[in-house]
A and B are shown apart, each in its own frame.
Chain A
Amino acid sequence: MAGRISLCMIVKDEEQNIRRCLESVAGAVDEIIVVDTGSTDRTCQIASEFGALVHLFPWNDNFSDARNASLERATGDWILFLDADEELSRESRDVLRRLTAEDTTEGYFVKIINYLGNEGWIEPCPDLVFRLFRNRRDYRFRGAIHEQIVDVILEKNGQAKYQVAEDLVILHYGYLNRQIQEKDKKNRNLELIRRELAAAPENRLLRYHYGVELYRAERYEEAAAELIRAANGIDPQTIYLPKLLRYIVLAYHAACRPGEALEIVRLGLGLFPDYADLYYYGGLISFEQRDYARAYDFFQRAVSLPEQPAYYASFHGVRGFRSYYYLGQLAEIFLNEEEALRCYITGLQDNPHFTAALESIVRLLEPHKDPVYARDCLEKLCDLCTPDAVLLMAQVLFRQSAYLLALEHLERVTGQREVPAEILLWKAICLIQQRRYLEALRIIDDFGPDHPLYPLAKLNKILCFWLQGNRRRVRTLVEELFALGLSADTGAVVGLLRDSLSRRRRVPGVALGEEGISLLLDIVMRALDLGEKDRAESLLSGLSQECLGKNARAVGQLFYRYGHLEAAEDYLRLYLKNDPGCAGTCFTLAEIKCREGAFLEAADFYRQALTLDPGEPRHYIGLIRLYEKMRREILREAVKRYPEVPVFRELLEEVPVEA
């Protein structure tokens, strides 16, 4: 026979949330006790609508007192405790009845799913909490914050039996960023716990919570110290130990102490060898330390682990898309693009909202080189049936400067619905990159002088004419743009555009700051994308030698990306003169020389890259591939020179041919 159930809650200014909470328990509990600690909104009225008994209780900086006030008034056999920003999952209503029919149990740990959301999508993170227990006079909450009742019940009733009921699920929305900020929970909690901890310095659990709050307040060093104190000498059975360990790792990591963090990972895995979060963070930290061998092992373990027990409070995705993303990054670091794609795709399938994986996939498909192939792949991979998905894809493609494909996607959405002005401007840019200048200009001319994007639109208008070599129109438009009042850097770039079309050269050349360079490189890239190599170079020739030298690496990489090997080599060699220690530049030069068939020079550059930075796997792999390529060349020549010797042909067939 199921007992009667009282829902108890304490609230303050929860009109945004309380309706959702009470709707979720309607009919599932037998009475509702709401203790209000001073709402100034409609919270009490809404509670009354659901038949709640509402009591006012003046706030005294103590959560337990308020909670106990609600318990005092409960008449049921069982107490279910919820916060206003929580709800009972639909499937749990029957479970609740079943659990309260149990005779021998004094209380239940139930599963709570915390919704966290700081990365653009909402992610569930399960944990266990003690929220359902028998209503007895001496079972009362203790502690001003992170109030606890489990230990109280045990004190009063040594025989008390608890159970874990993972099928009773509470959904908690309180961690969503917006709400955390709204309530300024962090500072309130910190101050309360600090005071309480001063009174009870031996309270381990309280210290743990204090450490967590310090971590949330981004005081990482202090957080690590408090959490370590909480962990010293702890009983390994303690239910929150896994979480505590993870917080120590996080705190050390955030405090830029990777060595300590990894040591805790090691210790933690000794206690909980199947705890995915520790593998994930171990991998992450090793990855950042460029210890790729270890990072790989950690992430591999993370993705191979089974469903995590609820008390691990495992973060969403550590066994899935998060680890796969890093496995993809690792594969790229080892120049294995096929494996990288496989990892990113697995990650994306695990979480379709995970844009970082999508960006990487698009990048690896090199849509600027082979748009048709990239389009086919992406269509197979992604479900593009909603306008939102199409728009997202368009944005990703645009950011990867795949203008043709981005345009196709934009055209699919811009016809159907209102899109932000920025997206329209992107469409215009994509049109320019297809040399569809008239259509582009139609969009651009819709931006009036009051629009915040007007200068950018205007700049693109200049580009339309600049790409066509229309000196006169460019000059007029540049004057108009100057009249708006531009930043020094932007002005200088615009001036370069104008001057690049005239035969006169300004001496000395222009020196640009960071903002100007990034704008200039964007224009150079777009020119290269259109095959306008000379125009790009004429633009660059307006730069001062010093400024060009400093940025020659980025310029060289761009020329390399668009297949202009000789120009790329010139820029990269120029850069190397300024910064002889740049391993990345040596590596690109090696790749260029290798593609040109100048193997010995390539070998020198690979070796130089390796010498400058022995921590980069691609430097080894480049050299390995080069030797293999040279060997193939030798065998090919041997086949030609000595056709009567069959062994060379056989050897050549054995050699794996490069993709």
Chain B
Amino acid sequence: MTQTIGLAMIVRDEEQNLAACLESVRGAVDEIVIVDTGSADRTVEIAGRYTDKVYHYPWDDDFSAARNYAIAQTRSDWVLSLDADEELDTTSGDLRALVNNDSGYEAYFLPLYNRTAQFPGDYSRFLVLRLFRNSAAYRFHGRIHEQVGVGRQEAVGIAEGPAIWHRTLSGKERNRKRGRNLALLQRAAAADPDSPFLQYYLGVEWLGLGKAERALPCLQSACTRLTDAQILFRAPAVRFLVVCLKTLGRLDEAICVCLEESLRYPAYADLFFEGGVLFEQKGEYEIAIRWFEEAINCGPPPAIFSHTNGTGSFLSLYHLGYCHEKLHRLKEAKDYYEQALASEPGYVYPLYNLFLLSLAENGPQGAFDHLAAAGHLAQPERAGALADLFFEAGYPDLACACIEKGVLAAGFPDDGAARRLVRFRVYAGRPAEALSLLNDIRRVGGGLDSRLAVDEVVALILKQDYGAAKRKALSLWSQSDGRGAAWALLNLISLCRSGSRCGRPEESREAAVIQATLAIMEDCLRYPPWSAGVDGRAYGSLVANAVRFLVRLSPRGCTALAAYLQAKAGAVRQIMDYKYDRAGRVLR
């Protein structure tokens, strides 16, 4: 007979997340049970759209009690337990297939992915016990970080899928939860000081709050007392311990942990990766290289080891590139960066290093040719990233080329790319082309954000169309985030046109005006005076007027300008340090 599955969850104030969670289980479960522990927002209303089984349970500082209450309301043969900030991803496996096979398992570990940053490949993976038979034997224990107890280990299966994706929490939300968790955990640990699990969770929470010195004894105690039978916890505990020691600057001790544990788990890529990072931090690049190579040899570890995606592949490849770069083996460095990019196209950091290496070695045009020949412009995302890099490095002409020859030539008519291109063209000495492209964007109904609106006014000033420039600047005033820039532009227009200022902004707006002026100056200073066929004097006079404006504006204007110039010098110095290392610092 076909087994049924019920989702049991507890929620509080989850109006932001709940709908996405419930959408993700649509069709995958037969029953949804939601227990609210006191929401003050629209959570209950949203829950009501998906199920009739919404219950209330008075919160008593005990997660297990609440969860067990939810399970008690569930009628299905199996229980799936999710949090509101999680989603089920059935592309990697089918829930119903798991509960209907004849393996004899009573419960399953499912992979839980924690997204740590913004690109697709950046996540870490844990196993969590979230699918189990609806039986009185399986109930949650512990007031917090509650676990389902399953007596017999052999009755628990490990499933490749479906996966649970945990959402990235906003910093505020995370800290709110941490503060709440910590209080509960401390109470629990006081009641049960021998539990290595509680020590582990305490360590993790302290570490998350940036208190590594308080996390350390917890994690050390957890690592010592957890056994290999509890590898699900021990593996992440070891990794958090390494992170903790690293945060405290105790690199040698962290390395010792990696060494010891790598002997115990010789196929655990994450440990070799962490060890490599530590040696890299110490400047021992040759040794670091061997650790990263070993991490790659390991590949992804068995599922029961908590694992950060890429430690056995692209992350280690990236670090290998970095170490070789530090050892002046530029060819190897580039090879590894290319391999890292090939291994995980979503992970773009290697592209930055490739860009810098190539720029230092071949100059801007050479770097462009090299990166184009390596095929990076053929991928719209990378071409866009490279365009930004060229623009930031002061080569708006090449930034244009990245978009024009990369993104557009590859046939990706993309609004975002077009907007960038407008901006790059304004400062590449092609204001007229920028303006006509802008008209195209408008024609298809696109609005301008305030930065692009500023760029448009600048283009008009450069073309000495002061009337239109003034009109656009005035309309920028109507955008709330554009007022500082509008002030700055109106003054610049007036200075360019007649050499006089048009007035002083009110005190409260001054900072925004200064910032906007400096931003315009910075962009104009990117202009390549050597590119053919453009009269660069317009940029020069705009910059000169910006300087004049700031100096006359106020002491604050002068201070900001001086600080800006100091930062400019500092930025060049940084490139020198990167390129010339010790020689640059000592001899300069």
CB distance from B588 to the nearest CB of A (A): 6
- Given A293-B580, A624-B573, A647-B559, does the pair A336, B565 have CB atoms closer than 8 Å? no
CB distance from B285 to the nearest CB of A (A): 13
A615 to B367, CA, bound (A): 13
A634 to B544, CA, bound (A): 12
Contact with A617, one of B394, B525, B561, B576 (Cβ below 8 angstroms): B576
How many contacts A-B (CB < 8 Å)?
A: 122
Contact status A296-B530, CB under 8 Å: no
| A210 proximal to B (CB < 8 A) | no
A335 to B579, CA, bound (A): 16
CB distance from B395 to the nearest CB of A (A): 7
Contact status A651-B572, CB under 8 Å: no
| B505 proximal to A (CB < 8 A) | no
A627 to B567, CA, bound (A): 9
Residues of A with C-beta under 8 A to B562: 631, 634-635, 638, 651
Secondary structure dominating the interface of A: helix
- Given A292-B580, A624-B572, A648-B555, does the pair A339, B565 have CB atoms closer than 8 Å? no
Give the interface centre of B360, B528, B555 by most chain A CB atoms within 10 Å.
Answer: B555
CB distance from B584 to the nearest CB of A (A): 7
| B253 proximal to A (CB < 8 A) | no
Contact status B363-A612, CB under 8 Å: yes
A604 to B565, CA, bound (A): 15
CB distance from A570 to the nearest CB of B (A): 18
| B540 proximal to A (CB < 8 A) | yes
Contact status A334-B530, CB under 8 Å: no
| B10 proximal to A (CB < 8 A) | no
- Given A604-B536, A611-B530, A634-B551, does the pair A334, B558 have CB atoms closer than 8 Å? no
Residues of A with C-beta under 8 A to B374: none
Interface size of B in residues (CB-CB distance below 8 Å): 41
A630 to B364, CA, bound (A): 26
CB distance from A341 to the nearest CB of B (A): 13
- Given A631-B566, A647-B559, does the pair A620, B572 have CB atoms closer than 8 Å? yes
Contact status B328-A580, CB under 8 Å: no
| B71 proximal to A (CB < 8 A) | no
| A621 proximal to B (CB < 8 A) | yes
Contact with B587, one of A291, A296, A607, A648 (Cβ below 8 angstroms): A296
Residues of B with C-beta under 8 A to A627: 565-566, 568-569, 572
| B136 proximal to A (CB < 8 A) | no
| Nearest neighbor of B394 in chain A, beta-carbon distance | A607
| A623 proximal to B (CB < 8 A) | yes
Contact status B587-A336, CB under 8 Å: yes
A617 to B552, CA, bound (A): 35
Residues of A with C-beta under 8 A to B530: 580, 604, 608, 611
CB distance from B192 to the nearest CB of A (A): 56
| B359 proximal to A (CB < 8 A) | yes
Residues of A with C-beta under 8 A to B573: 620, 624
- Given A621-B588, A628-B569, does the pair A604, B529 have CB atoms closer than 8 Å? yes
Residues of B with C-beta under 8 A to A620: 572-573, 575-576, 579
A607 to B364, CA, bound (A): 11
Contact status B587-A645, CB under 8 Å: no
Contact status A637-B529, CB under 8 Å: no
| B582 proximal to A (CB < 8 A) | yes
Contact with A293, one of B525, B558, B581, B588 (Cβ below 8 angstroms): B581
| B190 proximal to A (CB < 8 A) | no
| A330 proximal to B (CB < 8 A) | yes
| B583 proximal to A (CB < 8 A) | yes
Contact status A334-B364, CB under 8 Å: no
Residues of B with C-beta under 8 A to A295: 583
Residues of B with C-beta under 8 A to A637: 551, 558
A634 to B365, CA, bound (A): 34
| A603 proximal to B (CB < 8 A) | yes
| A4 proximal to B (CB < 8 A) | no
Residues of B with C-beta under 8 A to A641: 551-552, 558
| B373 proximal to A (CB < 8 A) | no
A617 to B573, CA, bound (A): 11
| B317 proximal to A (CB < 8 A) | no
A638 to B550, CA, bound (A): 10
| Nearest neighbor of A625 in chain B, beta-carbon distance | B569
Secondary structure dominating the interface of B: helix
Residues of B with C-beta under 8 A to A630: 565
A513 to B529, CA, bound (A): 34
| A273 proximal to B (CB < 8 A) | no
- Given A293-B581, A604-B529, A627-B568, does the pair A645, B364 have CB atoms closer than 8 Å? no
Contact status B583-A334, CB under 8 Å: yes
| Nearest neighbor of B366 in chain A, beta-carbon distance | A614
| B586 proximal to A (CB < 8 A) | yes
Contact status B525-A603, CB under 8 Å: yes
A634 to B561, CA, bound (A): 8
Residues of A with C-beta under 8 A to B528: 607-608, 611
Contact status A635-B363, CB under 8 Å: no
Interface string of A292-334 (1 = CB under 8 A from B): 1111110000000000000000000000000000000011011
Contact with B551, one of A296, A335, A638, A645 (Cβ below 8 angstroms): A638
Contact status B587-A611, CB under 8 Å: no
| B207 proximal to A (CB < 8 A) | no
| A256 proximal to B (CB < 8 A) | no
Residues of B with C-beta under 8 A to A297: 581-583
CB distance from B2 to the nearest CB of A (A): 68
CB distance from B61 to the nearest CB of A (A): 54
- Given A293-B584, A638-B562, does the pair A613, B363 have CB atoms closer than 8 Å? yes
| B543 proximal to A (CB < 8 A) | yes
A580 to B566, CA, bound (A): 30
| A600 proximal to B (CB < 8 A) | yes
- Given A627-B565, A648-B555, does the pair A614, B363 have CB atoms closer than 8 Å? yes
CB distance from A470 to the nearest CB of B (A): 46
Residues of A with C-beta under 8 A to B568: 627
| A601 proximal to B (CB < 8 A) | yes
Residues of A with C-beta under 8 A to B572: 620, 623-624, 627
- Given A601-B540, A611-B530, A612-B363, does the pair A330, B583 have CB atoms closer than 8 Å? yes
| Nearest neighbor of A626 in chain B, beta-carbon distance | B569
In the complex, chain A residues 245-295 whose Cβ is within 8 Å of any chain B Cβ: 291-295
Contact status A330-B565, CB under 8 Å: no
CB distance from A636 to the nearest CB of B (A): 10
Contact status B363-A645, CB under 8 Å: no
CB distance from A652 to the nearest CB of B (A): 9
Contact status A294-B328, CB under 8 Å: yes
Contact status B582-A293, CB under 8 Å: yes
A601 to B580, CA, bound (A): 27
Interface string of B534-554 (1 = CB under 8 A from A): 001000100110010001100
A128 to B511, CA, bound (A): 75
Contact status A624-B558, CB under 8 Å: no
- Given A334-B587, A634-B551, does the pair A611, B558 have CB atoms closer than 8 Å? no
Residues of A with C-beta under 8 A to B559: 638, 647-648
Contact status B583-A631, CB under 8 Å: no
- Given A580-B530, A634-B551, does the pair A617, B580 have CB atoms closer than 8 Å? yes
A641 to B547, CA, bound (A): 14
Contact status B583-A600, CB under 8 Å: no
Residues of B with C-beta under 8 A to A50: none
A624 to B580, CA, bound (A): 15
| Nearest neighbor of A622 in chain B, beta-carbon distance | B572
CB distance from B487 to the nearest CB of A (A): 20
A624 to B566, CA, bound (A): 9
A641 to B528, CA, bound (A): 33
| A642 proximal to B (CB < 8 A) | yes
Give the interface centre of A603, A611, A642 by most chain B CB atoms within 10 Å.
Answer: A611
| Nearest neighbor of B558 in chain A, beta-carbon distance | A638
Contact status B565-A634, CB under 8 Å: yes
5 A-B residue contacts at CB 8 Å?
A296-B587, A607-B529, A608-B530, A615-B360, A617-B580
10 residue pairs, one from A and one from B, having the closest CB atoms: A296-B583, A334-B587, A638-B558, A627-B569, A631-B565, A293-B581, A604-B529, A293-B580, A627-B568, A645-B555
Other 5 A-B pairs with CB < 8 A, given A617-B587, A637-B558: A291-B328, A296-B587, A604-B530, A614-B360, A621-B576
